[in-house]
């Protein structure tokens, strides 16, 4: 399957090493501390699991053998028993004598840090990351010049976080969404180094897709970053987000403690067009008109805002209360059926049985799009979250903020790219 890669390396190395101090194991005391001296097949063989950080040296072996087979000597960073290691810092194991046959870094609770061994067997480097406030064990398997297998072990601990940042992703849990659905992440705490976070976010798609991350304030006031394709997704595209954030620092004393993943599938090519002057909701699928529904949009005093929005959610029944959208005691309508949201601030499609005389004739609402009960039911059943809603002919001169719902489509492509924290937030590279 061809997959489109969108910015952000999988696991960047973000911190500098602690000083490396080589130590040669030659005494029984050091052998006991490092767990050296075993032979045969007991050493770790997993060259793809490891973690760590810092700088120090370990050796394995039983001292110089009678046949002058010198023990393997290696340097491990972070050094044995180092504490306060910066979360996310790289782990390295370097063999000065002999070769490495395997390295494993584990946290004692089933977690491991990925890494890779160089072709010459002299260096192992982590590609995974370490979490804050966690103790790790580095197990090293090595081989002497004469072919004798050895093992050694060291430990280190990362610095604790003052606060752990968490995030909420949309979409999450799979499912099918419309062609305008962005990948959206909202953070519990402010993100100071947005570029560091963005570099560790990766979107892949089964169809090559150009897109970019853009930072904004969510309607809730929290930091948020969305990935929006340049143009609508192609129907059937499989989309996956990998947020490799474990150990990434998001602010003073604030770190992410885990990685995240989410995926979804793009559904039908459906676009909802709201023709304000002609009082029509036109549902387009595959470029063809499926149905035109009469409606009543916002009045001249409260015009429905123009531009492209995205369907956020649907409720089969909902109370519409003007106080929740900042309009005082203008209305309170309990149990209104067939409600479809397209802004967080309170702009909906909904049935409007109390306004039947104006539907298809006059725009009289406070900004919502009202339809007959039957038409609202048909619309509710037909559309899906992620479908674009294009408002045409609005008298409003106020653009919806990008953080108010999925407002990324309110911006031009160049305006959206400028909201990336990186010099280039877009790519068309296939994966």
Which band of pLDDT confidence, cut at 50, 70 and 90, is reported for residue 333? confident
Interval 163-193: pLDDT, tens: 999 999 999 889 999 999 999 999 999 999 9
Query: Across all residues in the chain, what is the average pLDDT?
Result: 85
* Domain match, 277 and 399 both: yes
Mean pLDDT of 70-88: 93
Residue 42, pLDDT score: 43
* Domain match, 293 and 372 both: yes
Mean pLDDT of 19-40: 35
What is the rounded distance in angstroms from the CA atom of residue 127 to the CA atom of residue 13? 8
Q: Is 276 part of any domain? A: yes
34 has pLDDT over 80: no
Which has the minimum average pLDDT: 40-49, 224-233, 301-310, 345-354? 40-49
Cβ atoms of 295 and 370 within 8 Å: the answer is yes
What is the rounded distance in angstroms from the CA atom of residue 207 to the CA atom of residue 230? 13
Cβ atoms of 225 and 218 within 8 Å: the answer is no
Mean pLDDT of 102-130: 95
118 has pLDDT over 90: yes
Encoding tokens for residue 106?
A: 């584990």
* Domain match, 274 and 408 both: yes
Which band of pLDDT confidence, cut at 50, 70 and 90, is reported for residue 329? confident
CATH of the domain at 225: 2.60.40.3710
CATH of the domain at 129: 2.60.40.3780
What is the rounded distance in angstroms from the CA atom of residue 271 to the CA atom of residue 371? 18
137 has pLDDT over 50: yes
CB atoms within 10 A of CB 64: 11
What is the rounded distance in angstroms from the CA atom of residue 356 to the CA atom of residue 280? 14
Mean pLDDT of 235-251: 96
Domain that holds residue 293: 270-414
Interval 249-302: pLDDT, tens: 999 999 999 999 999 999 999 999 999 999 999 999 999 999 999 999 999 999
CA neighbours closer than 13 Å in the CB half-sphere of residue 326:
6
57 has pLDDT over 50: no
318 has pLDDT over 70: yes
* Domain match, 230 and 364 both: no
Q: Is 372 part of any domain? A: yes
Which band of pLDDT confidence, cut at 50, 70 and 90, is reported for residue 17? very low
* Domain match, 106 and 179 both: no
52 has pLDDT over 90: no
Under DSSP, the state recorded for 355 is G
Mean pLDDT of 335-341: 96
What is the rounded distance in angstroms from the CA atom of residue 127 to the CA atom of residue 38? 28
Residue 15, pLDDT score: 36
* Domain match, 307 and 195 both: no
* Domain match, 260 and 282 both: no
Q: Which of 108, 141, 158 is the last residue of a domain?
A: 158
Q: Is 139 part of any domain? A: yes
Cβ atoms of 59 and 73 within 8 Å: the answer is yes
For strands 92-97 and 73-77, give the pairing.
antiparallel
Between the alpha carbon of residue 232 and those of residues 188, 274, 291, 309, 402, the distances in Å are 29, 18, 21, 12, 17
* Domain match, 280 and 397 both: yes
Which band of pLDDT confidence, cut at 50, 70 and 90, is reported for residue 33? very low
Cβ atoms of 371 and 351 within 8 Å: the answer is yes
Selected residue with higher pLDDT from 319 and 29: 319
What is the rounded distance in angstroms from the CA atom of residue 144 to the CA atom of residue 404? 63
Q: Which of 211, 232, 267 is the last residue of a domain?
A: 267
Q: What is the pTM of this model?
A: 0.79
* Domain match, 316 and 372 both: yes
* Domain match, 253 and 276 both: no
Q: Which of 252, 267, 282 is the last residue of a domain?
A: 267
At which residue do the structure tokens 């840090």 appear? Answer: 113
Q: Is 9 part of any domain? A: no
Encoding tokens for residue 334?
A: 């309990």
Residue 321, pLDDT score: 77
Mean pLDDT of 115-130: 96
- Smallest Cα–Cα separation from 320: which of 304, 335, 310, 338? 335
Q: Is 367 part of any domain? A: yes
Q: Is 210 part of any domain? A: yes
40 has pLDDT over 60: no
393 has pLDDT over 50: yes
Which band of pLDDT confidence, cut at 50, 70 and 90, is reported for residue 69? confident
* Domain match, 378 and 359 both: yes
What is the rounded distance in angstroms from the CA atom of residue 220 to the CA atom of residue 51? 37
Which band of pLDDT confidence, cut at 50, 70 and 90, is reported for residue 36? very low
CB atoms within 10 A of CB 207: 18
Q: Is 11 part of any domain? A: no
What is the rounded distance in angstroms from the CA atom of residue 34 to the CA atom of residue 96? 17
Q: Which secondary structure element, helix H or strand E, spans residue 35, and what is its range?
A: none
* Domain match, 281 and 399 both: yes
Q: Is 420 part of any domain? A: no
361 has pLDDT over 50: yes
Residues paired with residue 183 on neighbouring β-strands, in sequence order: 227
Encoding tokens for residue 373?
A: 């009960």
Residue 25, pLDDT score: 36
For the chain, the domain total comes to 3
């Amino acid at each position: 399957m061809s997959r489109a890669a969108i910015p952000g390396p999988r696991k960047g190395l973000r911190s500098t090493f602690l000083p490396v101090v080589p130590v040669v194991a030659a005494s029984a005391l050091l052998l006991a501390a490092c767990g050296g001296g075993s032979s045969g097949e007991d050493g770790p063989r997993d060259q793809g699991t490891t973690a760590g950080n810092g700088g120090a040296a370990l050796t394995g072996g039983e001292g110089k053998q009678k046949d002058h087979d010198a023990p393997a000597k290696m340097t491990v960073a972070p050094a044995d028993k180092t504490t306060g290691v910066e979360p996310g810092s790289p782990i390295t194991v370097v063999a000065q004598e002999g070769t490495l046959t395997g390295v494993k870094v584990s946290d004692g609770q089933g977690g491991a840090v990925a890494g890779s061994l160089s072709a010459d067997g002299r260096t192992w480097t982590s590609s995974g990351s370490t979490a804050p406030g966690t103790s790790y064990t580095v197990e090293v398997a090595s081989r002497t010049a004469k072919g004798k297998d050895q093992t050694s072990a060291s430990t280190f601990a990362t610095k604790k976080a003052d606060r752990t940042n968490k995030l909420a992703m949309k979409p999450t849990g799979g499912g099918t969404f419309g062609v305008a659905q962005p990948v959206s992440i909202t953070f519990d705490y402010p993100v100071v180094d947005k570029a560091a976070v963005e570099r560790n976010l990766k979107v892949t798609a089964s169809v090559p897709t150009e897109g970019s991350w853009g930072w904004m304030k969510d309607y809730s006031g929290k930091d948020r970053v969305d990935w929006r394709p340049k143009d609508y997704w192609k129907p059937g595209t499989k989309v996956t987000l990998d947020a490799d954030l474990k150990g990434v620092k998001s602010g003073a004393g604030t770190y992410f403690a885990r990685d995240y993943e989410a995926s979804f599938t793009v559904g039908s090519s459906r676009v909802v067009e709201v023709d304000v002057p002609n009082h029509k909701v036109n549902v387009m699928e595959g470029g063809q008109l499926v149905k035109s529904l009469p409606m009543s949009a916002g009045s001249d005093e409260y015009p429905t805002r123009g531009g492209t929005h995205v369907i956020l959610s649907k409720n089969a029944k909902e109370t519409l209360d003007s106080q929740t959208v900042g309009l005082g005691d203008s209305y309170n309508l309990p149990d209104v059926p067939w409600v479809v949201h397209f802004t967080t601030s309170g702009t909906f499609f909904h049935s409007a049985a109390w306004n039947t005389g104006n539907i298809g004739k006059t725009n009289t609402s406070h900004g919502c799009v009202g339809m007959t009960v039957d038409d609202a039911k048909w619309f509710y059943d037909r559309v899906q979250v992620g479908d674009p809603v294009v408002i045409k002919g609005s008298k409003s001169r106020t653009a919806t903020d990008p953080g108010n719902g999925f407002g990324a489509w309110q911006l031009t492509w160049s305006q959206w790219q400028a909201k990336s924290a990186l010099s280039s937030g877009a790519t068309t590279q296939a994966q």
